[in-house]
Structure 1
Amino acid sequence: MRGDLRWAWAEIDLDAVRHNIRTIRERVAPSAVWAVVKANGYGHGSVDVARAAIEAGAEGLCVALVQEGIDLRRAGVDAPILLLSEQPPELASAIIEYRLTPSVYRREFLEALAREAPSGLPVHLLVDTGMQRVGTHPHAAASMAAAIAQRAPAVRLAGVFTHLAVADDPSPASVEFTDRQLSKFAKVLEQLPPVPLVHIANSAGALAHPAARQSMVRVGIAMYGIAPSDALDDLCSDLRPAMELRSRVSFVKQVRSGSAISYGLKHTFSRDTTVATVPLGYADGVPRRLSEVGGEVLIAGRRCPIVGVVTMDQLMVDCGDHDVRVGDDVTLIGEQGGETIRAEDWARRLGTIGYEIVCGISERIPRVPRRSIDN
């Protein structure tokens, strides 16, 4: 299927997802693992990733939007699904209909849920311990928990959680901030009745901060085999990347020294060379300025630099004096011939994070699930 629709596709290694979930489960035991599959599974395909994660032992799933939860339910996924933030009040009925677990931190949203008269709807109380994004203030957490209890049996407090702001940064100042968040959260728990699920850790917290491993951890980026940050790369050495972005050469030509290429003619060749065109571009998630920061692709196991501005649907590659032909395989992210380009490599060059790279691979790129040869 990979080349049937177009000469660009993303291969999704679901066995890598399974391996990563099993590996993380062993590392964080006895904490349970819930898999974060928001943003279409970080660009990997939420339904396939969710199924693979559950098969490997994930006990629940996390999403950002009601529609993401609905899509999973309609695909037959039956595991618990946690909405990581409050949703528009008008979606309360859909949350109940599709058996989603909402996060709450405002009484207005709690009231919207209770008005739908559910029976024992589990909710998770989100406490803001320093992220300063959303969540109830630690001083108000006990009051909010009491408000939830007052609306029984319509709703019940099934979980309480917070989110770490700098868990991916091992610098002393950031570690101190994380410790303060953990301390604030511990004081909140002292004020609450026993709660079935307590969770703090995202991928970085689960890997780098054992104290953040409560009854469950929320594993996102690490499940896809991508380090939360360069500083935590060594903690991810036993994880496997789940996405490879591939294409084929669509055109080959010889260019002369002194000629320029692509929009703006910003790249001028210093020698006669062979240029290959690859049929995907920034509309597919390849950043327009990747060539400006040293972006490369792999052709026949050799690194070839991207030259000229990446266009909407195509990019060009300097292949030197190598023999390149139309139809040759091109690897943008992944392994070929013993060479590897990682999403983290793109991120490092572009001054961003691996999350943004894989989430940015657009829906124009077909996702093709595959199984690892060695699993």
Structure 2
Amino acid sequence: MSSYPARAVVDLAAIRSNVAALREHAGGVPVMAVVKADGYGHGLVPSARAALAGGATWLGVAQVDEALALRTAGITAPVLAWLYGPGAPLEAAVAARVDLSVAAPWALDGVVVAARATGVTARVHVKVDTGLGRNGVPPAELADLLDAALRAQAEGAVAVVGLFSHLAFADAPDHPTVRGQAAVFADAVALAERAGARLEVRHLANSAATLTDASVRYDLVRPGLAVYGLSPVPQVGDPASFGLTPAMRLEADLALVKRVPAGQGVSYAHAYTTPRETMLGLVPIGYADGVPRHASGTQDRWGGPVQVGGRRLGVAGRVCMDQVVLDLGPDAAEQAGDTVVLFGSGADGEPTAEDWAQVAGTISYEIVTRVGARVPRVVVGDEAVAPTVEADEDLQ
């Protein structure tokens, strides 16, 4: 049992329910639950198991090491890893039946070498840059990469099973780039099929597109943030409007409560000064734990919101490395050991990750993924999560 005075409570039942809701939004299209970045801060393996229990049939990660960790944990469902550099453990990935993204000739060469070394046919998904300007082969170079990949397929080294891309403005569903990228992707699919690729899956839709754009769902949707119950399009709808429940509650125990006079400067640089005699509460969690420093409070406005004693307050003064301070008010009854909720589902009036994002000028993705490793994850709602999930034999 950890003695750390803060914890991130992760509700696996919420993750299961969210995936079930996403399956409905996808209209029967299979779901790849993205569990990269330690399951968006919720825990890689528990999140993966919960997502599979909720009906996901694929898992997606960024790094090869994440995929191998899933295999080590006994999860045998199809896994795609899509971001790696030269020197990545591709032999181990191929041997573990991890699907791999190929976005450049050097990556294809590396996968082919790994396949020959292991004697296992590598399953690859060609990544196309349809306009995000990030990872992916440019459309002008796609034909050459496909030609090389299909030659490798003819010798049995690889199987070209997928083609995919990623949208730049999916969180703005009416942005013209969404339709533009969709058209480029459709052209890429047609090119691959003319070249002789027998694609099992074509995938383009992330969380936002899964929830708002049926036209880009293809054979597989790839939600990430929404798996954890947060809305990727808060300007369109909150989590509840999409049938989602935030799965993480970040809380800490008050370490100190003390009375101070009016005019007391609080935290570094005295960005906040008490306007009257009051009680201050010390919360032992700070930017080393993932609390954004940009959510510091000033004399003119509270910082990051919290709930304590049924009341909504905010950080008073600067967020420090290991702690923040609250102005509890002159009549506060809180004591050391009482619980402060930084964010949660919002169901009981507590702040949400989106609330923190608004104060910090960021997005809810960052709020949950930046919760530090030293904050223990307390898993609840895991009764229906099986320890392993068998893969579809056709995808081995």
Question: TM-score, normalization: structure 1?
Answer: 0.94
Of the candidates 310, 317, 321, which is equivalent to residue 319 of structure 2? Answer: 310
Offset at 1:236? 5.3
CA gap 1:333/1:166 in 2 versus in 1, 3 angstroms: same
CA gap 1:35/1:335 in 2 versus in 1, 3 angstroms: closer
Q: 1:182 aligns to what?
A: 182
Offset at 1:216? 0.2
Answer yes or no: is the 8 Å Cα contact 2:64–2:83 preserved in 1.
no
Q: 2:390 aligns to what?
A: none
Q: 1:20 aligns to what?
A: 18
Q: What SS does the aligned partner of 2:22 have?
A: helix
Q: 1:297 aligns to what?
A: 306
Alignment of 1:345-360 (within 5 A): 345-360=355-370
Distance in structure 2 (CA, Å) of the matches to 1:196 and 1:15: 30
Of the candidates 203, 207, 213, which is equivalent to residue 199 of structure 1? Answer: 203
Answer yes or no: is the 8 Å Cα contact 1:244–1:332 preserved in 2.
yes
Matched residues, number: 369
Alignment of 1:214-233 (within 5 A): 214-233=218-237
Offset at 1:141? 2.2
Which amino acid in 1 is paired with 2:200? Answer: P
Distance in structure 1 (CA, Å) of the matches to 2:23 and 2:346: 30
Alignment of 1:1-375 (within 5 A): 1=1, 4-116=2-114, 117=116, 118-152=119-153, 153-170=156-173, 172=174, 174=175, 176-193=176-193, 194-234=198-238, 237=241, 238-292=243-297, 294-320=303-329, 321-334=331-344, 338-371=348-381
CA gap 1:188/1:309 in 2 versus in 1, 3 angstroms: same
Distance in structure 2 (CA, Å) of the matches to 1:349 and 1:11: 22
Offset at 1:30? 2.2
Q: What SS does the aligned partner of 2:222 have?
A: strand
Which amino acid in 1 is paired with 2:54? Answer: A
CA deviation map 1:264-290 (0-9, x unaligned): 122111111111111111110111232
CA gap 1:222/1:129 in 2 versus in 1, 3 angstroms: same
Answer yes or no: is the 8 Å Cα contact 2:304–2:360 preserved in 1.
no
Offset at 1:229? 3.3
Distance in structure 2 (CA, Å) of the matches to 1:86 and 1:136: 14
Answer yes or no: is the 8 Å Cα contact 1:66–1:87 preserved in 2.
no
Q: What SS does the aligned partner of 2:75 have?
A: coil
Offset at 1:232? 3.2
Deviating more after overlay: 203-212 vs 285-294: 285-294
Answer yes or no: is the 8 Å Cα contact 1:62–1:82 preserved in 2.
yes
> Percent identity between the aligned chains?
40
Offset at 1:226? 0.8
Distance in structure 1 (CA, Å) of the matches to 2:189 and 2:346: 50
Which amino acid in 1 is paired with 2:324? Answer: L
Offset at 1:140? 2.7
Distance in structure 1 (CA, Å) of the matches to 2:83 and 2:253: 41
Answer yes or no: is the 8 Å Cα contact 2:38–2:44 preserved in 1.
yes
Which amino acid in 1 is paired with 2:147? Answer: A
Distance in structure 2 (CA, Å) of the matches to 1:335 and 1:229: 16
Distance in structure 2 (CA, Å) of the matches to 1:113 and 1:17: 33
Q: Please give the root-mean-square deviation of Cα atoms over the aligned residues, in Å.
A: 1.9
Deviating more after overlay: 67-76 vs 328-337: 328-337
Distance in structure 1 (CA, Å) of the matches to 2:304 and 2:238: 23
Offset at 1:71? 1.3
Deviating more after overlay: 53-62 vs 291-300: 291-300
CA deviation map 1:164-222 (0-9, x unaligned): 0001013x4x1x21001111111111122231100000001111111111100101000
Q: What SS does the aligned partner of 1:309 have?
A: coil
Distance in structure 2 (CA, Å) of the matches to 1:165 and 1:156: 28
Distance in structure 2 (CA, Å) of the matches to 1:372 and 1:253: 39
Distance in structure 1 (CA, Å) of the matches to 2:121 and 2:49: 26
Distance in structure 2 (CA, Å) of the matches to 1:82 and 1:219: 13
CA gap 1:83/1:106 in 2 versus in 1, 3 angstroms: same
Which amino acid in 2 is paired with 1:359? Answer: T
Distance in structure 1 (CA, Å) of the matches to 2:283 and 2:239: 34
CA deviation map 1:230-254 (0-9, x unaligned): 2233475210000000111111100
Question: TM-score, normalization: structure 2?
Answer: 0.89
Which amino acid in 2 is paired with 1:302? Answer: R
Answer yes or no: is the 8 Å Cα contact 2:246–2:345 preserved in 1.
no
Deviating more after overlay: 313-322 vs 234-243: 234-243
Answer yes or no: is the 8 Å Cα contact 2:280–2:325 preserved in 1.
yes
Answer yes or no: is the 8 Å Cα contact 1:33–1:216 preserved in 2.
yes
Answer yes or no: is the 8 Å Cα contact 1:45–1:367 preserved in 2.
yes
Which amino acid in 1 is paired with 2:282? Answer: T
Answer yes or no: is the 8 Å Cα contact 1:301–1:336 preserved in 2.
no
Which amino acid in 1 is paired with 2:376? Answer: P
CA gap 1:63/1:372 in 2 versus in 1, 3 angstroms: closer
Answer yes or no: is the 8 Å Cα contact 2:9–2:379 preserved in 1.
yes
CA gap 1:323/1:372 in 2 versus in 1, 3 angstroms: farther
Q: Which runs of 5+ in 2 are unaligned?
A: 384-396
